[in-house]
Amino acid sequence: MEGDEKSVRRDENNLTELYATEHREVVRDSLSRALGGPYFPITICSAASFAAEMEVFMSEKRLKTDVLVVGGGFSGCFAAVTARENGAEVILAEKNYCGKSGCSHFARDFMLFKEEWGDNFGEWMEQFSKIGEYIADQRWDELIIRESYDRYRDLVSWGVPFYIKDGSSNVPDAYGFPPPEEEPFRYKLRSTKYRKTSVVTKYAVRHKMMICRKKVLSVGASILDRTMITDLLKKDGRVVGAAGFNTQTGDYYIIEAKAVVIASGLLSFRPAYYGVWSSNGEGITMGYRAGADLSGMEFGAGMYVCSECDSVCIDGPVSDITGIRDVVTNGRGEEFLDVGPHLPINILWPIEVHKGNGPIYHDAYGVDRNKFKKELDKYNETAEGPWIEMLDRAGIDIFNDRFEQYMSFIGSMFAGGLRVNYSCETTVPGLYAAGDASGTNFTGPTYASLGSGMCGACVTGHRAGLNAARFAHGSEQLEAEPNDLAALKERILNPLERKSGFRPDRVLMRIQQTIFPYEVRMVMHEKRLTAALTMFEFFRDHFIPMLNAADSHELRLAHEVRSMVTGAEIMLRSALFRTESRGWFFREDYPRRDDKNWLKWVLVSQGENGRMNLRTEDVPKEYQGDLTLPYQERYPVTYGYGKGGTI
C-alpha cells in the first residue's frame, strides 16, 4: 500500500506542476494578446490601459461539438468523460479552472452502498424517505443508492485514492486504490431520530478534482478554462449550443452543439460558507430563460460557520477524530437541539436566534490536541479544506475555548434546479442537467446523508453524459439564426459598452443585504418574503439593465449578479407559494407540515413577457409514507416552535 501512497503523492506533484504551467501559459497568452506583443514578467501597465488594449484585441471564436458540458466539478467531469467514451465529441467549459473550483473541490465524503458489505437497501430507502419528509423522489433515491458503487469504482479507476479499511473506527493511515471486491474504509454516521443508517467513504487527497481533469483530457475531451457560458442558443424549440466569453482575454465564444449538459452547480449568493462562492446559478437561470422547468427552488440550505472566521464551517471533524460529542448551546448556555447535530436540524439554529435566545455557541472540546496531532494533520491534508489550520490562523482554539457560530444562508444547495427526468433530460429538447444544477428532488427539503450530494453529482453526471451523447448521435446540428446571434452578443457584452451605470460589486452587496438576513430565507414570513421580493423586482428592473463593466473580469460578475437576481426572485416567489413548513423550509406564518395540501413538488417556468408561472405536481402516492400515523411519529424532529415547542 505504501507504493500506492507514493504514486499518489507523485501524481499530486505532477498535477500541481501541470496547473502551474497551464496557468503561466494562460496568463502569458492573455497578456500577450492584450498588449499586442510578447509578454515578459517585468512588463507593467495600468489597469486602464490594460482594459483598453483588451477591448481592441478581443476576438470572436466559433466552435462546434456534439456535446457541450457547462461546469467542471464531479457532475461535469462525469458527463464529459461518459459522453466522450460513448463516441461524442465533447467540449467542457468552466468559468474558473477545471479541477480547482466549485463544491466538488472541497468535498470530503462519498456515500457508498453495497449489499455485499452488509448494507440494507430497505433501511437506506426508508431513511431517504423520512429525512426527505415524504416529498423526496424515491426513484432518484434508488438510482443514486444503487449506482453509487459503480461511480465509486469509476473514480478509483481514474486514479482517485480512498482510505483503506484497517479495522479501526477512526480514519486509517493507509490509502490507495482498493480492488473491486475489497471494502474501503467506511464509517457509519451517528444515529439520530431520523438517521439510522447510510455509510460514507472518504477521499484521501484534496487534489482529486485535478485527477478528474486529467481523466477528462485523457479521453479526448477539450476543456475551455475561464470561459463563462451565459446563454443558450435555440432553434425550432431545441437547444443547439451556447454563448459566453473568456473572463481573462474577453474573447467571445459561440459554441454550436447538438446537446448541452448544464453541470454548473447551485444557485448561491457568495455566502460565508466556502466552496460555493463561484456557484451563482448561471446554468439554472439560463435554462429557465430557454424555457426549461425548475423544481424545488423554494427550498434552500444554511450552514453553520464560525463567526470570527466566516469561511469556516466546523462541526463533525473534531468529533469524528476525538469521539467527543459536539455540544451546541444558546446565549443562556442551554442545549436547544433535541437530537445530535445533523443536517435536518439546521433550521433549529436560526429559530433559536429568532426566539431571542442567541447568540449560538459551540462548547470547547476540552481535549489535548497534541494527542490527536497525527489525525488532525492528516485531516488537514485531505479533502474539504484545512479547517483546523484556518481556525488557528484566526486565533481560535476550538479545543479549549467556546466559540460563537451562526447559520449562513447558502442557496439552492442539494435542493432545486432544472427539472429532469431519470435520463437527466430537462423539459427542453437537447438540454440536460446534472449535479446541483439538476432538480431531481432526491433529498427533498433537507439533506439525506453526508456524501449523497457528491454521489448524486457523479450519478447524474454519468446519466446526463450518456444520454446527451445518444441524443447527439441521433440529431443533426442546427444553426441558430444570425439575427438571434447578433442580438445575443449585444446583450451579453452590453455592460462593457456602457460608460456609466451600476457596478456589479455594488449590486452584489445590495443582493446580499437583502437575501442573507436569517428572517428572510430561513425563518420566513409572508410579509418579509414580499418585502424582499419587492426589492429584487427593483433590482431586476433598475440595476440589471444598467450594469456596467470595465473589463471581462467585471463582465463575469455582472452576469453572476444577473443570475442571482433572477434566481432570488424565483426562490422568493416559490417560497411564498408553498404555504407550509417542511424540513429546512420553515414558514413562521405556516409552522406545521401540511400533508393534506402540500405533498407536492413546486415547478416554475417562464411564461409570456418573462412572467414567472408557478404550479404544483402531486408526489406519487407510494412516496407519501403512512398517512395514518400521528404527526409526532411521522415527523420525529420538531421545530421547537409554538406552544410547548411541539410544532
| DSSP secondary structure of 333-360 | S-B--SS-S-GGGTTHHHHHIIIII--E
Q: Is the peptide bond before 545 cis (omega within 30 degrees of 0)?
A: no
* Buried residues in 312-321 as b, exposed as e (16+ CB within 10 A): bbbbbbbbbb
Cell numbers given for 486? 447578433
Calculate what percentage of the chain has a pLDDT beyond 90. 62
Helix (DSSP H) and strand (DSSP E) numbers for the chain = 20, 23
pLDDT-derived band at 34 (thresholds 50, 70, 90) equals very low
- Residue 1: is its pLDDT beyond 60? no
Closest to 63 (Cα-Cα) out of 97, 82, 91: 91
- Residue 42: is its pLDDT beyond 60? no
Q: Where are the domains of the chain?
A: 1-57, 301-411, 487-645
d(CA 614, CA 601): 10
- Does residue 17 or residue 426 have the better pLDDT? 426
- Residue 50: is its pLDDT beyond 60? no
Read off the pLDDT of residues 560-615 as tens digits, 9 standing for 90 and up: 999 999 999 999 999 999 999 998 899 999 999 999 999 999 999 999 888 999 99
pLDDT-derived band at 304 (thresholds 50, 70, 90) equals confident
Region 72-100 average pLDDT: 97
CA dihedral 66, 71, 72, 77 (to 10 degrees): -50
Provide the CA 623 distance to its chain's centre, in angstroms.
26
Cell numbers given for 205? 487527497
Of 23-37, 54-68, 522-536, 595-609, where does mean pLDDT reach its minimum?
A: 23-37
Residues constituting the chain = 647
pLDDT-derived band at 463 (thresholds 50, 70, 90) equals very high
Q: What is the largest CA-CA distance in the chain?
A: 75
Give me the pLDDT at residue 87, please: 98
Q: Which CATH architecture has domain 487-645?
A: Up-down Bundle (1.20)
C-beta atoms surrounding 397 within 10 Å: 13
Cell numbers given for 373? 496531532
Closest to 108 (Cα-Cα) out of 80, 74, 84: 74
pLDDT-derived band at 643 (thresholds 50, 70, 90) equals low
Element (H, E) at 462: helix 452-473
d(CA 311, CA 305): 7
C-beta atoms surrounding 66 within 10 Å: 22
Q: Are the C-beta atoms of 523 and 647 separated by less than 8 Å?
A: no
The DSSP call for residue 236 is T
Cell numbers given for 420? 429532469
d(CA 300, CA 572): 11
pLDDT-derived band at 278 (thresholds 50, 70, 90) equals confident
Region 248-272 average pLDDT: 95
- The average confidence (pLDDT) of the chain is 86
Give me the pLDDT at residue 391, please: 81
d(CA 228, CA 534): 29
- Residue 37: is its pLDDT beyond 70? no
d(CA 121, CA 288): 35
Provide the CA 607 distance to its chain's centre, in angstroms.
27
* Buried residues in 184-216 as b, exposed as e (16+ CB within 10 A): bbbbebeebbbbebbbbbbbbbbbbbbbbbbbb
Region 114-137 average pLDDT: 93
pLDDT-derived band at 133 (thresholds 50, 70, 90) equals very high
- Residue 206: is its pLDDT beyond 50? yes
301-411 and 487-645, same CATH topology: no
d(CA 83, CA 94): 17
Closest to 287 (Cα-Cα) out of 440, 575, 512, 70: 70
d(CA 550, CA 52): 9
Closest to 347 (Cα-Cα) out of 169, 140, 518, 104: 518
Closest to 584 (Cα-Cα) out of 397, 292, 350: 350
Element (H, E) at 389: helix 387-393
- Residue 101: is its pLDDT beyond 60? yes
Give me the pLDDT at residue 571, please: 97
Closest to 295 (Cα-Cα) out of 570, 633, 646: 570
Give me the pLDDT at residue 30, please: 38
According to the CATH classification, is domain 301-411 in 3.90.700? yes
Calculate what percentage of the chain has a pLDDT beyond 70. 84
Q: How many CA atoms does the CB half-sphere of 398 hold within 13 Å?
A: 31
DSSP-derived secondary structure for 57-110: H--EEEEEEEEEEE--SHHHHHHHHHHHHTT--EEEEESS-TTSSHHHHH--EE
Region 463-472 average pLDDT: 98
Of 97-111, 167-181, 439-453, 608-622, where does mean pLDDT reach its minimum?
A: 167-181
To the question of pTM greater than 0.85 for the whole model, the response is yes
d(CA 169, CA 189): 12
pLDDT-derived band at 396 (thresholds 50, 70, 90) equals confident
